[in-house]
Amino acid sequence: MQFITSVIYVDNVEETLDFYYQAFGFITFSLSDNAEYGELSTGNVKIAFANHPYAQAHFKQGYIRAHPKQPALGFELRFNCTNLSESYDKAVLAGAEPLCPPNQKGSQTYAYVRAIEGTLICLYQN
């Protein structure tokens, strides 16, 4: 078995893909004709977004929607970057909510933002 994709359910797939491009530089890998599903080019493991009707058509169970005005869901996406301060500023300028500015704890340097759809993002620098 191999982990290949994480799918986040969102209100607007195209808007979310554009945000991830503006904030983090990830380009769109694929987008369905009706824009209900799209993937970012993020390496071996893709980050994908699907709209809520798409999700509901695939399974009938309910789920908790990520939303920037609600408490964050219990997971984060972590992106390694070469210039943490620059990456943080770029994400905030693109519309991310600033949560924790760049700081260092031991040998780790990191920052947290929240994406427009409500996902927690950790920006990490080795």
CA distances from 106 to 85, 103, 109, 110 (A): 17, 10, 8, 11
3-class secondary-structure state, position 113: strand
From the first residue on, what is the mean pLDDT of each consecutive set of 10 residues in the chain (126 residues)? 95 98 97 97 94 90 88 94 96 98 92 97 94
Q: Return the pLDDT at 120.
A: 97
Q: What is the CA radius of gyration of the chain?
A: 15
What pLDDT does 61 receive?
85
Give the three-class secondary structure for 104.
strand
What pLDDT, on the 0 to 100 scale, is given for residue 62? 86
Which residues are registered as beta bridge partners of 48? 7, 39
Structure confidence at residue 67 (pLDDT) = 87
